[in-house]
């Protein structure tokens, strides 16, 4: 399979296009970001990233933590203070790697598709004085997009770590259509959800059974507003369906939680964010990985058209 010549964007850096099994994906140098994913039919499976600054962390890799850290302050080998990147809620959000350039390898042929390996060395810095090597592998074939993120502690002390991803799924229709998710339905196989405070920081965990958030059986999204973390996953598949199609997100190794966000008032897509740990894990320790020197952590997920 012939690799397409990479394009270049002054905002996103090098842009690599992968093809496989009728699918097409675009990955950017900045953030090793999933900028676009097209089904064999040509429809967008995720909200695409335009030529300007990425909106709402679309397609972002979230590492060395997903979601939020309250006030950007946690204790690990002393008090650590991160930059507050969500000033309206006073949180440090979505890690440190979404806006930095990664090294993109050359696409290689695999089966009926292509594979791209992206890599980054995250050096110690204020707020996160730990050393990590990250490798992200995108594989696009006839079964869809498969994504694997591995992290290795390259330092000499324990390193706190968690990860996630931030695709906004589309079930059908044209991208950027406001209110479109009110025509879709969601099936989410989780048994627990997180109650949050005014900073969107978890304060309690509740069963979804009998609550208004229960989507273990497919339910319409009309009028439903979500920005919640879900745990106790009883199945690996999250399904978003519309009248003429759907999108399937499969959660693989290392995924214990999923955050679901219905895009505020615009309601153009549904962020389904697989995560290894929930919000505020650097403070609570909930499902937080403590990587020994040389130790690896792996997390994976997949996307496909229905």
Q: Per-residue pLDDT for 5 more than 70?
A: no
Q: Are 249 and 237 in contact (CB under 8 A)?
A: yes
Predicted confidence (pLDDT) per residue in 199-240, tens digit: 999 999 999 999 999 999 999 999 999 999 999 999 899 999
Phi and psi at 60, nearest 5°, equal -80, 150
The rounded distance, in Å, linking the Cα atoms of 48 and 38 is 9
Predicted confidence (pLDDT) per residue in 165-201, tens digit: 999 999 999 999 999 999 999 999 999 999 999 999 9
The rounded distance, in Å, linking the Cα atoms of 275 and 258 is 6
What confidence score (pLDDT) does residue 6 get? 77
Domain 7-305 has CATH 2.40.30.10: no
Q: Per-residue pLDDT for 3 more than 90?
A: no
Q: Per-residue pLDDT for 1 more than 60?
A: no
Helix (H, G, I), strand (E, B) or coil at 194: strand
R_g over Cα of the chain:
18
Q: ∠ CA 28-32-34 to the nearest 5 degrees?
A: 65
Q: Are 259 and 275 in contact (CB under 8 A)?
A: yes
Predicted confidence (pLDDT) per residue in 245-282, tens digit: 999 999 999 999 999 999 999 999 999 999 999 999 99
pTM: predicted TM-score of the whole model, two decimal places: 0.96
CA distances from 178 to 118, 219, 228, 265 (A): 33, 20, 21, 8
């Amino acid at each position: 399979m012939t690799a397409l010549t990479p394009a270049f964007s002054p905002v996103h850096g090098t842009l690599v296009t992968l093809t496989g099994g009728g699918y097409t994906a675009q990955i950017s140098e900045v953030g090793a970001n999933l900028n676009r994913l097209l089904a064999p039919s040509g429809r967008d499976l995720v909200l695409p990233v335009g030529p300007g600054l990425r909106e709402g962390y679309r397609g972002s890799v979230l590492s060395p933590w997903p979601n939020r850290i309250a006030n950007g302050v946690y204790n690990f080998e002393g008090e650590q203070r991160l930059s507050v990147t969500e000033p309206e809620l006073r949180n440090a959000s979505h890690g440190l790697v979404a806006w930095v350039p990664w090294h993109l390898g050359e696409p290689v042929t695999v089966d009926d598709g292509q594979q791209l390996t992206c890599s980054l060395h995250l050096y110690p810095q204020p707020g996160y004085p730990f050393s990590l090597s990250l490798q992200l592998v995108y594989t696009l074939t006839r079964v869809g997009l498969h994504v694997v993120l591995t992290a290795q502690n390259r330092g000499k002390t324990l390193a706190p770590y968690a990860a996630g991803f931030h695709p906004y799924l589309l079930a059908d229709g044209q991208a950027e259509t406001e209110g479109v998710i009110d025509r879709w339905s969601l099936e989410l196989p989780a048994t627990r959800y997180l109650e949050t405070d005014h900073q969107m920081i978890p304060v309690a965990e509740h069963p979804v059974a009998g609550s208004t958030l229960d989507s273990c059986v497919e339910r319409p999204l009309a009028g439903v507003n979500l920005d919640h973390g879900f745990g106790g996953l009883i199945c690996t598949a999250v399904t978003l369906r519309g009248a003429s199609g759907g999108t399937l997100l499969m959660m693989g190794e290392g995924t214990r939680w999923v955050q679901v966000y219905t895009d505020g008032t615009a309601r153009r897509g549904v962020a389904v964010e697989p995560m290894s740990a929930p919000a505020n894990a650097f403070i609570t320790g909930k499902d937080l990985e403590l990587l020994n020197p040389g130790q690896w952590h792996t997390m994976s997920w997949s996307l496909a058209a229905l």
